[in-house]
Amino acid sequence: MNLKRVFLGPILSIVFLIFFAYLISGMQGFFVKPLQNNNSSLYLANISDAVQQNVSENTADEIVVLPANKPEVNAKSAISIESNLQDQSKVIFEKDSNLQLPIASLTKLMTAIVVLENYNLSDLVIVSKIADSQDVVKQDVKIGDKLSVEGFLDIMLIESSNKSAYALSELIGEEKFVMMMNKKAKDLGLKNTFFADPTGLSAQNVSTANDLAKLAETILKNYPEIARISKAKTFYIKGFGQVENTDQLLSEVPDIVCSKTGFTNEAKGCLLLVINSQRDNNYKINIILGADDRFLEMKKIINWLDANYQCQ
């Protein structure tokens, strides 16, 4: 009997300890699991916060690597278009590009088109008294000068000679010539463009940056002579002498393929500049209208393009 007690006592103690241990383990699970769940929620929340913070940081990085803020162009209107001259054209930069404004001597681009379509370049032209009365430029023709149509065309585009432009229009009469300019603008779909004279001296010679970009595309595709003449820094003209281009940027900006300046008190500074990209052989057509400093404002656009679109 004593032996039975000896063995039974320890056995019961062991059973009791096992039961007590199991009870403690169950209660611990009851209290600990919610705590673990809370910690898990907190852990997941921390992960979510970290992910959101990382996304925010990545987003900020993407903003930094995207093209820099567009330039502050101090002009009434401006546009920059990338074109392959075939089936692709996109606006890269614009500021009030559909605003109709006086365009000054950018008018002479259309004057040149009418001349090329209707004149024989070897025909001779004499500067009349009326032609000589037009506003003079630095190195200009004078009354009685006799040159070929080609010679006057060169002087008009390179030096922006008003006398040359008017003399060219007199071959068929100024009124008819201007009518042909406006008809050509209509044929090209330049809906906001109108010409009152062949020189651009009248404030009624108006267009938009958008229309002028289309005109530039037409010139590059169909009238390469105009582009070729317009980009010459200096040029010697037989029977007249050497003329110097009015575009100061020809000495500063590489790969210019077409250029034309314009200025009157009403129009202020105007500039058309086309660059051929060495990277993809596309053209960047840039227009500035109504600027106090057309060259400075154009350089802002060109520098921005160089930094973000690899023009050169």
Q: What is the DSSP string of 55-108?
A: HHHHHHHHHHHSPPPPP---EEEEEEEEE-SSS-EEEEEEESTT--EE-GGGGH
User: Structurally, how many domains does the chain consist of?
Assistant: 1
**Where are the strands (E) in 151-202, listed by range?**
none
The question of whether 108 is a catalytic residue gets the answer yes
Domain assignment present for residue 69? The answer is no
Domain assignment present for residue 7? The answer is no
What CATH code is carried by the domain that includes residue 171?
3.40.710.10
Output phi, psi for 257, to 5 deg.
-115, -10
The question of whether 105 is a catalytic residue gets the answer yes
The DSSP call for residue 172 is: T
Rounded CA separation 108/121 (Å): 16
What's the domain range around 259? 76-309
The question of whether 284 is a catalytic residue gets the answer no
Sign of CA dihedral 170, 173, 178, 184: negative
* From 77, 80, 83, 105, the catalytic residue: 105
What are the beta bridge partners of residue 83?
89, 283
Structure tokens at 267: 């129009």
Q: pLDDT (tens digit, 0 to 9) for every residue of the chain, 312 residues total?
A: 454 454 555 555 565 556 555 555 554 444 334 434 444 444 334 434 443 444 333 333 333 333 557 889 999 999 999 999 887 889 999 999 999 999 999 999 999 999 999 999 999 999 999 999 999 998 899 999 999 999 999 999 999 999 999 999 999 999 999 999 999 999 999 999 999 999 999 999 999 999 999 999 999 999 999 999 999 999 999 889 999 999 999 999 999 999 999 999 999 999 999 999 877 789 999 999 999 999 999 999 999 988 886 544
Asked if residue 294 lies in contact with residue 96, where contact means CB atoms within 8 angstroms, the answer is no
Three-class SS state of 228: helix
Domain assignment present for residue 104? The answer is yes
Domain assignment present for residue 26? The answer is no
Q: Token match 């990338």: residue? A: 82
Domain assignment present for residue 180? The answer is yes
* From 77, 97, 148, 160, the catalytic residue: 160
* From 76, 108, 163, 260, the catalytic residue: 108
Q: Which residues of 13-32 are buried (b: 16+ CB within 10 A; e: fewer)?
A: eeeeeeeeeeeeeeeeeeee
Domain assignment present for residue 29? The answer is no
Q: Token match 């000068």: residue? A: 145
Rounded CA separation 23/79 (Å): 82
Q: How crowded is the C-beta side of 125, counted as CA atoms within 13 Å?
A: 31
Domain assignment present for residue 23? The answer is no
Domain assignment present for residue 82? The answer is yes
The whole model's pTM is what? 0.78
Three-class SS state of 274: strand
